[in-house]
Amino acid sequence: MLYDIFIDPFVQMVEMPDFFLQVLWEGFVAGILYALIALGFVLIFKASGVFNFAQGIMVVFAGLTLVGLHENGVPAFLALILTIGVMGVLAYGIERVVMRPLVNQPDIILLMATIGLTYFLIGFGEFVFGGEPKRMIAEELGLPTGSTAFEMGERGLVILQHIDIAAAVIAIIMVTALGIFFNKTRIGRALRAVADDHQAALSVGISLNQIWAIVWFAAGLVALATGIMWGARSDVSFALEIVAFKALPVLILGGFTSIPGAIIGGLIIGFGEKIGEIYWGGLVGGGIESWLAYIIALIFLLFRPQGLFGEKIIERV
């Protein structure tokens, strides 16, 4: 038993380095994909202190819109542009109908409002697109398919899916772009101000309406990217919404307000989860992935209650 826990896994890692590398790669890809979802959450949290429960469904919604348009004969790239437009309209609508009347309310109320939004989008999305899963038009969008295998040793093989590489590249570009946008611009500072105190932000002349429309739109774009990437992995269906839960530990681990935190958190969870499941999961019957991420996050939190890069929780009287 002790051997199984403390020695065997490491022996395996050394004996089958190709496989270990593959595990690391899968962990990396999973981490990147989680990070993409988490990024959407971070944007909105950073800008309003709202935990946007609807991010998961926005991912589905964006993916379905894209595929749905294509199915109706719109060329792939035009469909992409139209989808971006739809996300813009959605952002404006959310700002107008949900956020604006609820300014200055406690976080939990805003969270609840995004849950209402989730319900609405589920119903609306299924109403428009039906509940059937749809195939992502990855190829049509020019995303690479296929895979490359690297030989290692005699029978070793590390297989890299091109789509995964594309996902990683896109994620890194988005994170950098958003990071710069939010940290280096006037709007970035305003965002953080809004998250701290809506009323005070209003009083210094920050237009919450404008800020919210911008971030919801940005979150919509992230959702679209996420939808494309996740959709290419499995299918675009409402079941994808469940995957969004995976963003929670990532988010919490990285800290709700940090864009790099989303990536680092994603990677920690991705690596931890894959390695844990593959090398230790078998000991308890497998499937530990469903909670391992939370336990990893929990352990980190016990040392840093605000997450790795989160803003310190201010305690003062």
Partner 1 sequence: AAEDGNYVPLLTYRTGPYAGSGIHIANGMNDYLQMLNERDGGIGGVKIVIEECETGYNAQKGVECYEATKGKNAVVYNPYSTGITLQLIPKAAVDKIPVLSMGYGLSAAADGNTFPWVFNVPDTYWDGASVAIKYIGEQEGGLENLKGKKIGYIFLDAGYGREPIPLFEQMAEKFGFELVKYAVPGKEMQNQSSQWLNVRRDRPDYMIMWGWGAMSPTAIKEAVKIRYPMDKFIGVWWSAGDDDAAAGGEGAKGYKAMNFSGVGSDYPAIQDIKKLVVDAGKSQTDPESIGSTLYNRGVLNSVIIAEGIRAAQQLTGKKVITGEDMRAGLETLDLTNERLAELGLTGFAHPMKVTCEDHAGSHPVFIQQWDGEKWAVASGWIEPMKDLVRPLLEAAAKDYAEKNAPWPKRTEACPN
Partner 2 sequence: MFYREAGQFKTSYEADQSLFPIRQDRIGLAVILLVAFIVIPLTANDFFLTSIMIPFLVFSLAAIGLNVLTGFAGQLSLGSGAFMGVGAYAAYKLTSIFPDVNVIFLVLVSGVFSAGVGAIFGLPSLRIKGLYLAVTTLAAQFFLEWCFIRIPWLYNYNASGAIEIPKREMFGVTISGAEATPIARYFVVLVITVLIAGLIANVMRGRIGRSWMMIRDMDIAAELMGIRPLQTKLLAFAVSSYICGVAGAMMVFFWLNAAEPSSYSITLSFQILFMVILGGLGSIAGSFMGAAFIWILPVFLKFVPGAIGIEIGAETVEHLTFMIVGALIIFFLIVEPHGFARLWQIGKQKLRVWPFPY
Partner 3 sequence: MTKPNDAQTVDAGAETILSVNNIEVIYDHVILVLKGVSLTIPKGGIVALLGANGAGKTTTLKAVSNLLRAERGEVTKGKILFDGDEVQSLSPNELVRRGCIQVMEGRHCFGHLSIEENLLTGAYTRKDGAAAVRADLEMVYNYFPRLRERRQSQAGYTSGGEQQMCAIGRALMSRPKMILLDEPSMGLAPQLVEEIFEIVKQLNDNEGVSFLLAEQNTNVALRYATYGYIMESGRIVLDGDAKALRENEDVKEFYLGVGGEGRKSFKNVKHYKRRKRWLA
x/- string (CB under 8 A) for partner 2, residues 272-291?
------------xx-xx-xx
Pick one of partner 1, partner 2, partner 3, none as the site partner of residue 249 (Cβ within 5 to 8 A by kind): partner 2
Distinct helix (H) and strand (E) counts, the chain:
14, 2
Q: Which two tokens stand for residue 275?
A: 């390695």
x/- string (CB under 8 A) for partner 2, residues 199-238?
----------------------------------------
User: Least separation, in Å, of the C-beta of 177 and partner 1?
Assistant: 26
What phi and psi, each to the nearest 5 degrees, are found at residue 235? -140, 170
Q: Which two tokens stand for residue 35?
A: 């990070």
User: Least separation, in Å, of the C-beta of 46 and partner 1?
Assistant: 26
CA gap 262, 250 in Å, rounded: 6
CA gap 134, 122 in Å, rounded: 16
Q: Which residue pairs, CB below 8 angstroms and at least 24 apart, start in 146-154? A: 152/17, 152/18, 152/21, 153/17, 153/18
CB atoms within 10 A of CB 170: 17
User: Least separation, in Å, of the C-beta of 278 and partner 2?
Assistant: 17
Nearer CB in complex with partner 3: 31/254 = 254
Q: Which two tokens stand for residue 267?
A: 């990677």
- Helix (H) or strand (E) holding 156, with range, is strand 156-161
Nearer CB in complex with partner 3: 195/223 = 195
x/- string (CB under 8 A) for partner 3, residues 152-191?
----------------------------------x--xx-
User: Least separation, in Å, of the C-beta of 192 and partner 2?
Assistant: 17
CA gap 271, 26 in Å, rounded: 8
198 forms part of the interface with partner 3 (CB under 8 A): yes
Q: Say how far residue 111 (Cα) sits from the centre of its chain.
A: 17
What type of residue sits at position 82? L
User: Least separation, in Å, of the C-beta of 109 and partner 2?
Assistant: 4
CA torsion angle 300 305 309 315 (round to 10): -170
Give the binding site for partner 1 (CB under 8 A). Answer: 16, 19, 22-23, 26, 29-30, 126, 130-133, 135, 147, 159, 161, 230, 233-235, 237-243, 245-246, 273-274, 277-278, 281-282, 285-287, 289-290
Pick one of partner 1, partner 3, partner 2, none as the site partner of residue 23 (Cβ within 5 to 8 A by kind): partner 1
Does residue 7 contact residue 282 with C-beta atoms inside 8 Å?
A: no
Residues 14-73 that bind partner 2 (CB under 8 A): 51
Q: How far is the CA of 132 from the CAs of 173, 185, 238, 243, 245, in angstroms?
A: 32, 42, 8, 17, 21
Instruction: Provide the binding-site residues for partner 3, judged by CB under 8 A.
Output: 103-104, 186, 189-190, 192-193, 195-209, 311-312, 314, 316
Site of interaction with partner 2 (CB under 8 A): 51, 97-98, 101-102, 105-109, 111-113, 115-124, 126-127, 131, 245, 248-249, 252, 256, 284-285, 287-288, 290-291, 294-295, 297-298, 301-302, 305-307, 310, 313, 315, 317
